[in-house]
Amino acid sequence: MAEERVKDSLSEKHSVRSGSCVSSFESLKSDWSKGSNPPNFSEKTPSSVKSVRSGSCVSSSVSLKSDRSMGHLPPDLREKTPSSARRHLVADLVSYSDNLQWNFQNLESKMIRFLKNQLEKFKKILQDENRQEFVKKFNENRSIITDAALDLTLFFLREMKQDQAADTLEDELFFIYQLKCSLKKKYQSVFEGIAQQGDSTLLNKIYTDLYITQGASEQVNTEHEIRQIEAASRRHQSLEIQVECKHLFEAAEQDEQIRTVLTKGVAGIGKSVSVQKFVLDWAEGKENQDIRFIFPLPFREMNLKEKERQSLKDLITQFFPETKGLNLTRSTRFKVLFILDGLDECRLPLNFAGNETCCDVSSAVSLDVLLTNLIKGNLLPSALIWITSRPAAASKIPADCINWLTEIRGFNDAQKEEYFRKRLTDQNQAREIIDHIKQSKSLFIMCHIPVFCWISATVLQNILKLKHRAHAETLQESPKTLTQMYTHFLRFQIQQSRRKYDGENTADVSWDPNFILSLGKLAFQQLERNNVIFYESDLKDCGIDVYKASVYSDYRAVISLFSAVRVCLQLYNPQTVC
């Protein structure tokens, strides 16, 4: 019986209805809490506080409250819920936090993906894998963000002591690319004959390879240049070693490394155009890509700075502003080529024996000191040097400063015809001009000189146009001697100048005998002084009015074209002109 009463008592306190799977528990309260509450609350049974419905599967528990909170909170606030505004504020804060987290995760993913992509390109550039393509694309799509990626890469490479990789990357993506763009723009077009009057033409469209040999002919300094050319036209001996211009610094038979090359050639033979082609091929990424920097420094332009004191670094920056900031002292790790074009035009003394020694690219010295130390190897001893000169001026450079000597012989017979076919778009016209020139031995020999080819093409092309208008069929009355060719050439250019500047359309050319005599005096004096270019002061010395020369078309035409006629005067002995 006692057991049945205990069971009944337990059954009454913990009743579970049929089908229920959740228990109901009394709330747990401390003795202190029970003592402080009103008696009617302390005697309440658990079943009256929490009930479990039939079929419910959810457990219902009495809320747990601390004794201290129940004793101090007012009864009306204890059960009060948060306001609507607070619920919205909490919801907004949670939403903002979630969005910020997602945005930064997305941002991190995008940044990592972008940087990985840029780093992969930088790695290919350093590995020389499609370097030209990646450098070009990087600069074409250059922006603030790509520059930022480059700056980060350079910073961390240098922090990791990988200075060589950082320098290479910086040079390729900035200095070298900008220099190549500048040189390509400058050298892609050629003005044949006279820059001010000649028509601009794409160099690659008309360029014809020249015949270049290793060493130099002994006849260059002992015979007149035109006779030397005539002899060369009769013999291209098998003993002569032909050299391609693009391979000047790659002579296999040389035991030691070639640092300085001197290339000789008579006036108008194509020295400067060869330099132009060499630089253009490098700038376009076609040839000599192992050379990191090429700096063409024509003596004609450097003459204007002969009285200035400057460092090699300053000189390069003046000629090539895009290289400002380049560290030349690290050139020992890569190839740099200086091209000193037109030694015969140099007005500096080039005192190799007496000039002071200079080894610092940042030291300011005279231009003469600068160039002699660069050629001798005191400045940038690892740099390559290419000097071009006419034979008479080549002796200005001491023999012990030259590693290799080459000579430009001009066009051989096949190259002569190739020039005219490239120069003239009308192939029938080109063939007619070639046939006419072949009929005159002196004209055909003189076509070894590219400048003379240009003069002949200009004159004969104009005569053909006039004859075709008059319904003539041949060039029988065209110039057959050098004197006739020069006369036609000068006459034609004066006519062109009058048509262009004065609006005259006449075949009559009135000659100014005083001016022609003044030009003859100018030519004679400059040739005696071994000067192949002239300046304003030279015109004044010969009584030529500089103002008239710059304003009137006749003067402007003749003076601007005198450079070409000067070539003729120097190349040919006037006593033998027929």
pLDDT in tens, 352-386: 999 999 999 999 999 999 999 999 999 999 999 99
Q: Is residue 161's pLDDT more than 70?
A: yes
Distance between CA 182 and CA 510 in Å, rounded?
43
Lowest mean pLDDT among 65-79, 316-330, 417-431, 517-531: 65-79
User: Where does 188-267 have alpha helices with state H?
Assistant: 203-206, 225-234
Higher pLDDT, 343 or 534: 343
- Please check the confidence at residue 196 and state whether its pLDDT lies above 80: no
Which of 97-111, 340-354, 439-453, 522-536 is predicted least confidently?
522-536
Which of 492, 523, 486 is CA-nearest to residue 509?
A: 492
Q: What pLDDT is recorded for position 532? A: 61
Phi and psi of 406, rounded to 5°? -130, 165
Average pLDDT over residues 450-477: 78
- Please give the pLDDT value at position 524: 77
Residues of the chain above pLDDT 90, percent: 35
The rounded Cα 531 to chain-centroid distance in angstroms is 34
**d(Cα 264, Cα 246) in Å, to the nearest integer?**
16
Reported as half-sphere exposure (CB side, CA atoms, 13 A), residue 389 has a value of 22
Rounded to whole angstroms, the Cα distance separating 349 from 369 reads: 10
Q: Taking Cα atoms as reference points, which of 330, 298, 306, 325 lies closest to residue 314? A: 325
Strands 384-389 and 335-340: parallel
pLDDT at position 514, please? 75
Q: Report which DSSP code applies to 294.
A: E
> 330: alpha, beta or left, given left = phi > 0 and alpha = psi -120 to 50?
alpha
**Minimal CA–CA distance to 466: which of 444, 441, 490, 492?**
492
Cα–Cα distance for residue pair 140/414, rounded to 1 Å: 42
Does residue 64 surpass a pLDDT of 60?
Answer: no
Task: Output the pLDDT for position 537.
Answer: 80
Read off the pLDDT band of 61 (50, 70, 90): very low
Each residue of 256-274: pLDDT tens digit? 678 999 999 988 899 999 9
Residue 570, Ramachandran bin (φ over 0: left; ψ between -120 and 50: alpha; else beta): alpha
Higher pLDDT, 17 or 515: 515
Residue 82 pLDDT level (bands cut at 50, 70, 90): low
Beta bridge partner(s), residue 53: none
Angle between helices 225-234 and 553-571 (to 10 degrees): 60
User: What would the mean pLDDT of 283-302 be, rounded to a whole number?
Assistant: 93
Question: For the chain, how are helix, strand and coil distributed in percent, rounded to 5?
Answer: 55, 10, 35
Task: Please report which confidence band the pLDDT of residue 517 belongs to, taking 50, 70 and 90 as the band edges.
Answer: confident
CA distances from 159 to 122, 126, 153, 295, 483 (A): 17, 18, 10, 31, 71
Mean pLDDT of 90-112: 83
Residue 257 has what DSSP assignment? Answer: P
Q: Which 8-state DSSP code applies to residue 328?
A: G
Ranges 5-14, 99-108, 112-121, 325-334: which has the least confidence: 5-14
Rounded to whole angstroms, the Cα distance separating 491 from 488 reads 5
pLDDT above 60: residue 200: yes
Tell me the C-alpha distance between 392 and 390, whole Å: 6
Task: Check if the beta carbon of residue 323 is closer than 8 Å to that of residue 364.
Answer: no
Q: What is the pLDDT of residue 84?
A: 76
Average pLDDT value for residue range 226-250:
65
pLDDT at 79: 47
Does residue 406 contact residue 359 with C-beta atoms inside 8 Å? no
Report d(CA 9, CA 1) in Å as an integer. 12
User: Pairing relation of β-strands 384-389 and 260-264?
Assistant: parallel
Q: What angle do CA 318, 198, 263 make, to 5 degrees?
A: 60
Q: What is the pLDDT of residues 527-576, one digit of tens each?
A: 777 666 667 787 788 887 766 665 554 454 455 445 444 544 444 443 33
pLDDT for position 328: 84
State the residue for tokens 């016209």: 429
Rounded to whole angstroms, how far apart are CA atoms 233 and 230? 5
Query: Which candidate, 179, 168, 169, 161, places its Cα nearest to that of 334?
Result: 168
Interhelix angle for 177-187 vs 131-140, to 10°? 90
Mean pLDDT within 11-17: 41
The first and second tokens of residue 162, run together, are 């990988």
pLDDT of residue 7: 44
pLDDT band at 492 (very low <50, low <70, confident <90, very high): confident
The Cα–Cα gap between 206 and 387 comes to 24
Whether the predicted pLDDT of 96 surpasses 90: no
Q: What is the pLDDT of residue 235?
A: 47
Q: How many Cβ atoms from other residues are within 10 Å of residue 303's Cβ? A: 16
| Calpha distance 540→545 (Å, rounded) | 7
Query: What pLDDT is recorded for position 325?
Result: 87
Q: List all residues 6 or more positions away from 115 whose beta carbon is below 8 Å from its beta carbon.
A: 149, 152
Question: Which residue, 503, 446, 450, 501, is CA-closest to 479?
Answer: 446
Domain layout of the chain by residue ranges: 2-68, 206-220+237-264+293-410, 413-576
> What is the three-class DSSP state of 200?
strand
Q: pLDDT tens for residues 33-51?
A: 444 444 444 444 444 333 3
pLDDT of residue 254: 55
Top mean-pLDDT range of 50-64, 69-83, 364-378: 364-378
In this structure, what are the phi and psi dihedrals at residue 444, rounded to the nearest 5 degrees? -65, -40
**Phi first, then psi: what are they for 242, rounded to 5°?**
-80, 140
